[in-house]
Amino acid sequence: PGWVMNMYALLEKNKTPTAEEVEQQFDGNLCRCTGYRPILTSFGAFAKGGKLCGQHESVKHPTAMLAHNPQPLRFKDDITGQEWFRPVNLEQYMAIASLIATNRPFRPICASTADGVAKYYGGKDTDNAVLVDTSLLPELNGSSLDGDALRCGASVTIEKVIALLEQGSAGSPSFSPLARHMKRIACVQVRSVASWAGNLMFTREHPNFPSDMATILAAAGATFDVLGVDSKRQTCSTVQLLGLKGRVLVLSMTIPKLTASTVFETFKVSPRHVFAAATVNFGACIEFDDKQGGVVRRARFSVGGVTETLLEAAKAATALCGRPLDNASFKAVEAALRQDMSVCASKNEFHSLEYRQSLATAFLYKTFLAGSSSIPSQLKSAIVPFIPADAQPISHGTESFGTDPKEAPISEYIIKRSARIQASGEALFPSDCGRPGTLWGQVVLTTSANARLVALDASAALKMPGVHDFIAAASIPGVNCPLASFGGANLKEKLFFEVNDEVPCQGEMVGIIVADTWQQAHDAAKMVLQRYEPLGPVLVDIKQGVQYQGAPDIVDNTASTVSGRRSRDWWKVYEQGTARAPKDNGLTTLKGTFSSNGQRHFYMETQSVLATPLDGNCWEVIVSDQYSDLTQTSLALVLGVPQHNINVKVPRAGGAFGGKLLRQTLTACAAAVAAKKMRQPVRIQNERIDDMRMIAGREVAQFDYDVSFDVQGKVDSLEVTMLLDFGWFWGDNGFDLAFGLPGTANCYQFNHFKLDPKAVETNTPHTTFMRAPVSMQAVLAAEVVMEHVARTVGRPLEEVQALNFYNMNESAVTPFGDHLGKDGYNYTIPTLFLDIQKQANFSDRKKAVDAYNAANRWTKKGIAITPTMFPINCAYYSSGALVCIYSDGTVLVSTGGSEIGQGLDTKVALCVANALDTPLEKIQVGPRETSKIPNNTATGGSGTSENCCGAAVAACEKLVAAMKPYRETGKSWEDAVTAAIADKVSLVATGWFSFPKSENANGYATYGAAVAETMIDVLTGEVRVERVDILMDLGTQLDAAIDLGQLQGGFVMALGFLLTEELKIDASGTLLSIGTWDYKIPTAYDIPVEFNVSLLKDSPNPFGVKGSKASAEPVMCLIPSVFMAVKNAI
């Protein structure tokens, strides 16, 4: 709904926007599922030339709203003492300010957008605070654009300032650069309500905030009219304003117009292209002496993000005065700038000082180029922006697929059935569910790593308003272990750690606070006192883990009692082929190491649960969940009740990506324990920061390889040692490992292959499944090996890749037990590899990239192709379905899978419509409930949708048989149903599905190939993905719309892993990349500018349900194409 309302806001201002205006409207909306491409395509239809252009209809506003005359307001929270005022003129504001004690927190506000940022800078003192809304003060809302300056009141929005700057751009060389840079501040939604002054005053309060506004206004020479509480006015510069003490009210700013002989430039580098604070920002104003052509008369340089406060680089400015913009001057000014930056250098946990200083000097160089009268053609690309939103082309893409008309509606392009209610905000998620009398729970997490908890005191928290109790280990009626059913190393983990326990890491639960409201519980949880004694060094990475504990071979001792399954012996050493050839046989041998970081899920709906006690010691637990049967088992063990007393319901989950396969049991069990003690419903909805602290995702991985090959690049032998950091215990991670093992060989055949997987323990939270767990990194490592070989023999990577594909004329068996071409296991890699090169015009584009690089020094392009082979462990899956036909001819289906955004319910509906030969609109798929379909495997690994489809088809086959006598007579569907019911025929059936046994270890593999083209800024390191072409073999897809969307979304998530999502943990074990401020998933401006996705046609999967293959995760293993393209550009 946020996307819809944002588009509505644009159309309210402009019913016929351009395509550029539509796309630039979405710099602040985040999505983790779709990859943005279908969303942007849909909204693009409202742009000029689009099929929906001009068709927008406004919602009528109530007459009272339109005629409203604002009045002064005052509210007070009697519990916290906080007061909020809204004066309607400056006189009222001054009267309020004079009445408030000087030692009381007092803050003028306009839109309060800074509240979303303040928690990352130590928070704001809100108790007993006085907030004064200045948005309606006429004295602060005026603006004028006259002969010598632009003047804006302090409550004027950033959006309005941008419009005024663009309006007056012809009058000053600074106005257009200022407007362009302000468009990179926050996002459309924030800029439309936030004031420019609020940004500056937040920077005044938090000097280490890298304010773009402060940096560029300082460079522009802006001045500010400020009013003190004593009614004295003063005019000050940006730096002076930021240094003012005490209560002040900014009234207005003046941005002077600069002469035509002035060069004004601003720059910014940030963790992602839009909606991100600057790593470093820079402003430069260089005025030339009209009497001495080309000689600088005066200069100003401002730099943010390098020093502790905004830097006005005085030495650099002085060094430039009286000199021309030439190489000698640049060297002198650069040296002076480095001197300026050496004073009070700021700390930045994510970016080194050396890198940040190099960015500033790069910006200085770009400024010199921009101010030069002539530039060599090879250097011009340095000053052509390609990262900001308004510098990027309109993104676009194509989709291509085939269908099987005989199996309609299967394989057709069918929109997800819940899409409309999700877009409108009507769809209910577990976080929307509540009951009368529900209390809120807030997790209390450990704050030290590798330490003994010696004290836990909640007394201060219990005294806070609305707080009912602190629920700790003593309140657990059953087992204090959320994954006790798995046994083995999982028994190390407690639901609630207790006093005297050895606490392995930060982010484990010691209990939960229960209160009347979410905010009360959240605030009180911070007041629970914890005291620790250190036990030894805190190990935070693989290197430290190996150094202190080693990486022994692991024996898989995970004995799962869930659904009676036991995991495989995945930890063994895998070895295939003849003995490794001796070193004197003419082969070249290389060794290397490839390391990759982890990744967080960042699902839109954080861990969410509502636990409700029913009569008879029974429970209804609504969870955002991927594995309801495990959640039910865990709840039964923790509560000490039989499983039939517990019904776990999943209406739908707001994203999961593996993070709710196992770790949802933590909050589910915590809420249930609290609900049992309080005897009333308890909800938990994790705040984003807490969620990221306690739920780790993708493992950090290291691959040490030893490869031998001939002069052509044909690999003879590959040996890999795979080190995986699973956090403080490995336990259930054998499942992750199972996914990752085949990726180390990818789709290549070797005479000798050996893989030795090892786990490393660190004092970090336990990792868990995340989309394509381990496999994405393993395939990336395999491609790194191939690139290393290709580079050594001097051949193009694509030639070496093709040379090492499996030879289907020989016995093609993978190291992991799959016989290619046998028992339904097809192999389409060679076809995909050739077809994608043709579709993407790879050969010609590679030549064009070479030509571009030869002509440009400061921007470079790269292009690469990579394949993937993603085995699907079909033997794991089994699931049930319940199909009910009602008297009106409608059909309700229940399955053992959870709808987590992947379109499972829609695919099931398609298969049921096909099997029953009835219209799709007759089919409804209900929520997941353990009371209906028990003993299912998890929703994960991309295979659950087809498994549930198989179960639903099995149930339908029984119904088809029952209905056959009535349909053979030619009756309509409805009449046939009526007749069957009249004859007392049962129209309810269950179905169960598991894949047939196979001689292969995996049932089949999903294959794909991708070509990626990227462009980099050599001076700053910024990357733009120019184009990606993907061709996937999904057999006969179940739903073209959903499967294409899964491919787009999965690839963009992998892009985030590669380019924007950086995980940082400090030496104490504290996760630094938390929340939206420091952890940056891709936006709509980080996806490929051109994004083409195709499905291999006429290639049904012999082993799949309805000829289909899994789609959600395999595509992530095509991310090496972007990695190699960036590497080639470098």
Which residues neighbour 39 within 8 Å (Cβ) at sequence distance 6 or greater?
Answer: 3, 26, 31, 1084
**Residue 678, φ and ψ in degrees, nearest 5:** -85, -15
Half-sphere exposure for 476 (CA within 13 Å, toward CB): 24
Mean of all residue pLDDT scores within the chain: 94
Place of tokens 């710099």: 27
Is the pLDDT at 763 greater than 70? The verdict is yes
What is the enclosing helix (H) or strand (E) of 871? strand 859-872
Contact 1050, 771 (CB under 8 A): yes
Q: What angle do CA 210, 27, 425 make, to 5 degrees?
A: 120
Is the pLDDT at 415 greater than 80? The verdict is yes
- The tens digit of pLDDT for each residue in 717-730 reads 999 999 999 999 98
Residue 254 CA from chain centroid, whole number: 39
| Sign of the alpha-carbon torsion through 38, 39, 42, 46 | negative
What's the confidence (pLDDT) of residue 569?
55
Amino acid letter, 575: E
Going from the C-alpha of 989 to that of each of 563, 790, 799, 893, 895, the distances in angstroms are 22, 57, 54, 10, 12
What is the enclosing helix (H) or strand (E) of 852? helix 842-855
Mean pLDDT lowest among 11-15, 131-135, 227-231: 227-231
- The tens digit of pLDDT for each residue in 728-743 reads 998 888 888 888 899 9
| Structure tokens belonging to residue 998 | 């196979």
Which residues neighbour 575 within 8 Å (Cβ) at sequence distance 6 or greater?
Answer: 753, 754, 755, 815
Is the pLDDT at 453 greater than 50? The verdict is yes
Which residues neighbour 184 within 8 Å (Cβ) at sequence distance 6 or greater?
Answer: 212, 268, 270, 274, 388, 389
**Residue 24, φ and ψ in degrees, nearest 5:** -70, -10
Per-residue pLDDT band at 309 (split at 50, 70, 90): very high
DSSP string covering 953-985, please? HHHHHHHHHHHHHHHTTT--HHHHHHHHHHTT-
Is the pLDDT at 584 greater than 80? The verdict is no
Going from the C-alpha of 491 to that of each of 195, 484, 485, 730, the distances in angstroms are 53, 6, 9, 11
What's the confidence (pLDDT) of residue 63?
86
| Structure tokens belonging to residue 126 | 């809100």
The terminus-to-terminus CA distance of the chain in angstroms comes to 40
| Structure tokens belonging to residue 181 | 């840079």
Contact 621, 672 (CB under 8 A): yes
- The tens digit of pLDDT for each residue in 174-188 reads 999 999 999 999 999
Q: CB-based burial of residue 424 (10 Å sphere; 0-12 exposed, 13-18 middle, 19+ buried)?
A: exposed
What's the confidence (pLDDT) of residue 1121?
98
What's the confidence (pLDDT) of residue 562?
42
In percent, how much of the chain has pLDDT > 90?
Answer: 89
Is the pLDDT at 629 greater than 70? The verdict is yes
Q: Give the residue, 500 or 122, on which the prediction is more confident.
A: 500
* Of the candidates 630, 626, 663, the residue with the CA atom closest to the CA atom of residue 948: 626
d(C-alpha 655, C-alpha 902), whole Å: 9
What is the enclosing helix (H) or strand (E) of 533? strand 529-534
Is the pLDDT at 444 greater than 80? The verdict is yes
d(C-alpha 657, C-alpha 1081), whole Å: 14
Per-residue pLDDT band at 552 (split at 50, 70, 90): low
d(C-alpha 1092, C-alpha 712), whole Å: 32
d(C-alpha 1060, C-alpha 357), whole Å: 21
d(C-alpha 950, C-alpha 947), whole Å: 5
Place of tokens 């351009």: 18
d(C-alpha 804, C-alpha 789), whole Å: 11
Place of tokens 């990227």: 1014
Q: What is the CA radius of gyration of the chain?
A: 31
What is the enclosing helix (H) or strand (E) of 793? helix 775-793
- The tens digit of pLDDT for each residue in 814-839 reads 999 999 999 999 999 999 999 999 99
Contact 806, 602 (CB under 8 A): no
pLDDT (average), residues 1033-1049? 97
Contact 533, 451 (CB under 8 A): yes
Amino acid letter, 139: E
Q: Give the residue, 574 or 704, on which the prediction is more confident.
A: 704
- The tens digit of pLDDT for each residue in 63-76 reads 888 888 999 999 99
Region of residue 782 (left: phi > 0; alpha: psi -120 to 50; beta: else): alpha
What is the enclosing helix (H) or strand (E) of 509? strand 509-515
Per-residue pLDDT band at 549 (split at 50, 70, 90): confident
Tell me how crowded residue 810 is: count the other CB atoms within 10 A of its CB.
Answer: 8
What's the confidence (pLDDT) of residue 571?
62
| Structure tokens belonging to residue 180 | 């362009």
| Structure tokens belonging to residue 362 | 């790069």
Helices (H) and strands (E) in the chain, counts: 33, 38
What's the confidence (pLDDT) of residue 373?
87
pLDDT (average), residues 979-997? 97
Is the pLDDT at 867 greater than 60? The verdict is yes
Residue 927 CA from chain centroid, whole number: 26
Going from the C-alpha of 207 to that of each of 81, 223, 226, the distances in angstroms are 28, 19, 19
d(C-alpha 767, C-alpha 502), whole Å: 19
d(C-alpha 659, C-alpha 1053), whole Å: 14
d(C-alpha 934, C-alpha 628), whole Å: 9
Which residues neighbour 710 within 8 Å (Cβ) at sequence distance 6 or greater?
Answer: 586, 587, 588, 716
What's the confidence (pLDDT) of residue 560?
43
DSSP string covering 981-1018, please? HHTT---EEEEEEEPPP-SSSSSEEEEEEEEEEEEEET
Place of tokens 């000029």: 48
In percent, how much of the chain has pLDDT > 70?
Answer: 97
d(C-alpha 940, C-alpha 896), whole Å: 12
d(C-alpha 1095, C-alpha 1032), whole Å: 5
Q: Are strands 891-895 and 923-925 parallel, antiparallel or unpaired?
A: parallel
d(C-alpha 931, C-alpha 968), whole Å: 35
What's the confidence (pLDDT) of residue 730?
87
Place of tokens 């082993």: 1103
Amino acid letter, 704: D
